[in-house]
Amino acid sequence: MIIPFFMLVTTLFSVNAFAEPVEINKENYVFGETITISGKLPYSADEFVGLQILNPSKSDIVYIDQFFPKSDGSFSKSLKVQGPKWTSDGTYTIKIAYNDKIYEKTFLFSKPEISNEEPGSNPPPSNEIPTQPVENDIDTSFLNPKLRVSGFPDPSNAPNYYYERYFSEDEYKNWFDSTFSDFTIYEVVGYKPTHVSGFPDENNSPWYYVNRYHKEESYKDWFDSQFPTKSIYDILGYPESFFQKVPDWIKNNAKWWSSDLISDAEFFNGITYLINEGILIIPNLPDSDTSHSKIVPIWVKHTASWWAEGKIDENEFLKSIEFLVENGIIQV
């Protein structure tokens, strides 16, 4: 039987349209296992692959990254399903954004009980921590003193560097006491004690620990096993903004959002994450007014698109975010 040409083309197109562009190495994972996400996409030069993993309720981003595919459109990304964001059992969603298209894949995740110290787990060697006051532990989460003065403290300096200056230089001590009248030197530049003896060591700078965490896989594994509900920045007491600029992936998110490739909720989750983690700093962040309408004005999407395309600067984009927070559209 002779098949008409148009029917053959339609059949081939249908098969390709429903081909699986995103694959994972298995369907079920437990805390600490490695997931490998791979696939092959219609290649487009200079286009990033945007990767997001959302929690079961899709209310938070547990992992986000961007990278270039190979010249044939193929890609592969491996990561461990562990860290402070992996807190709920259930179905997690992988979202791949590429060349104005969104692809999704789901998997099951469960988190068993983890003890503070696993058998055979030894903390990295460190020197003895200097004696410091730990009583009257003040909750400064609402007002991080490390954000009060631009450039101070410098995360490339160890806490002991600042302790030495404070106790040996009267002028420096007077400046600190007048600037941080509500805090001690230990609260501003020091580390809080943890259940791991000698960690963090106040002879080592925050940058020392951040570099080790991101460059040494065994060190990262040890840290995540000891502090499964905390990030390295939580333990050090420094916002992530001290160590990196606003990541490029938020521009891709703005582009996809302005083109309706991702929902309002997904875009706002990314913005909320950046603000709460101190990565995106909005001066004089307004309080939310939940009495206002939740409808996003079209001009805000236009602003996001123009910022993503480099037509306006970041300050103009931040003004639109301030508007969304002030009107209760983004809850921070």
Q: Tell me 149's DSSP state.
A: B
Q: What is the pLDDT of residue 316?
A: 79
According to DSSP, residue 18 is labeled: T
- Please report the pLDDT score of residue 7 as a whole number: 40
Q: What is the DSSP letter of 241?
A: G
Instruction: List Cβ neighbours of 165 (8 Å cut-off, separation of 6 or more).
Output: 172
What amino acid occupies position 294?
Answer: K
pLDDT at 280: 63
The predicted pLDDT at position 246 comes to 54
**In the chain, which residues have pLDDT < 70?**
1-20, 84, 113-143, 150-151, 241, 243-249, 276-293
Q: Are 103 and 22 in contact (CB under 8 A)?
A: yes
Q: State the pLDDT at residue 322.
A: 83
Q: Say which residue the tokens 């010249």 belong to.
A: 71
Structure tokens, 149: 């003065």
Query: What string of DSSP letters covers 212-239?
Result: HHHH-HHHHHHHHHH-TT--HHHHHT--
Question: Which amino acid belongs to residue 34?
Answer: T
Q: Do residues 326 and 287 lie in contact, with contact meaning Cβ atoms separated by under 8 Å?
A: yes
Q: What confidence score (pLDDT) does residue 10 get?
A: 36
Inter-residue long-range contacts of 231-235, CB under 8 Å, 24+ positions, other chains counted: 231/83, 231/84, 233/277, 234/84, 235/191, 235/192, 235/194, 235/200, 235/209
Under DSSP, the state recorded for 328 is T
Collapsed DSSP state (helix, strand, coil) of residue 281: coil
Name residue 46's amino acid.
D
DSSP string across 26-56: -SEEETT-EEEEEEE----TT-PEEEEEE-T
* In contact, 54 and 61? CB cutoff 8 Å: yes
Domains of the chain: 22-110 (2.60.40.1930), 145-242 (no CATH), 249-326 (no CATH)
pTM of model > 0.85? no
Phi, psi of 158 (to 5 degrees): -75, 155
Max Cα distance, the chain (Å): 97
pLDDT (0 to 100) of residue 323: 85
Distance of CA 176 to the CA centre of its chain: 31
CA nearest neighbour of 41 among 56, 8, 19: 19
> Quick one: pLDDT at residue 132?
40
Partnered with residue 184 across adjacent β-strands are: none
